Amino acid sequence: MSRAYQYILFDLDGTLLPLTVEDFMQRYVPALYDFMAARGKDAGVVVDAVFGATRTMAEHPDQTNEKCFWDAFEPLIEAPREEYEPLMLDFYLSDFDKVKGGTVPDQNMVDAVATLKAKGYPMAVATMPMFPLEAVQTRLGWAGLNPDDFEFITTYSNSTALKPRTEYYNHVFEMAGHKPGDMLMVGNNTLEDGVTARLGCNLYLVTDHLIVQDGGVDLEQFPHGTSTDFLAFCQALPE
């Protein structure tokens, strides 16, 4: 039996990782604040600068999200990138782990990835590219997954747009090296992940942490189900 998909793309938060954006932000802010305060920085100013710089990533097709972030961060913090970039990396390699809280892996998604890997399907993590690689790798660890199981991971260093912009996904398709119609996007957001269907990509929406947004696709028009259902879906795919 021939394969319906040549490549599998996964969203991270709410899909592979059972952690909602709300829970993430509730823990992220105090963790970053405490980390910076412990190092003698004006933590409130740093946190505000991080969020202010992050907002500028929305539209700048001529530069990476990373460059956009730091170009905006420096004037907000009134300090050079060289002073704060090592601190942010240290945070993502240490205290960032506190943001995990009581989050535990979804074993169905862990088994689904293992099933696809065993069948030889190449996979990538197409997550919102607002963080450096180290932060995404940490979050994959929270999900019980090995970053090495994926061909690539979108980060703020290798992306020039955010979800749900078509520029972001066109770049993902280019990195995967396949036409959208030969790939499957697995996500939980009817807009941020669902927009791939409008670009010709196949779509599966995992409903455990489903987010329905204005302008998103109609859930009932696409394959969808719980993580248990998705595992069964993967088990039924041909090798």
In the predicted model, what is the mean pLDDT of residues 127-132?
97
Smallest CA-to-CA distance from 186 within 45, 7, 24 is with 7
pLDDT of residue 4: 86
Query: How far apart (Å, rounded) are the C-alpha atoms in residues 146 and 91?
Result: 21
Q: Rounded to whole angstroms, what are the CA distances from 90 to 35, 41, 65, 138?
A: 9, 14, 20, 12
pLDDT reading at 183 higher than 70:
yes
236 — pLDDT class (breaks 50, 70, 90): very high
Q: pTM for the whole thing? A: 0.95
Phi, psi of 79 (to 5 degrees): -155, 155
Nearest-angstrom CA–CA distance, 142 and 151: 19
pLDDT score of 212 more than 80? yes
Query: Is the distance from CB of 203 to CB of 223 less than 8 angstroms?
Result: yes
**Residue 34: per-residue pLDDT:** 98
Closest CA to 67 of 129, 157, 148, 128: 157
Number of Cβ within a 10 Å radius of residue 104: 12
Q: How far apart are CA 31 and CA 15, in angstroms?
A: 23
Q: Is 60 left (phi over 0), alpha (psi -120 to 50) or beta?
A: beta
Per-residue pLDDT, 1: 62
Q: Is the pLDDT of residue 60 over 90?
A: no
The residue behind tokens 């991971």 is 153
Which of the pair, 125 or 61, is modelled with greater confidence? 125
Contact criterion met (CB below 8 Å) for 122 and 8:
yes
CATH of region 7-19+104-236: 3.40.50.1000
Grade residue 62 by pLDDT with cuts at 50, 70 and 90: confident
- Domain edges within the chain: 7-19+104-236, 23-100
Residue 178 confidence (pLDDT) above 70: yes
pLDDT tens-place string over residues 38-54: 999 999 999 999 999 99
pLDDT averaged over the chain?
96
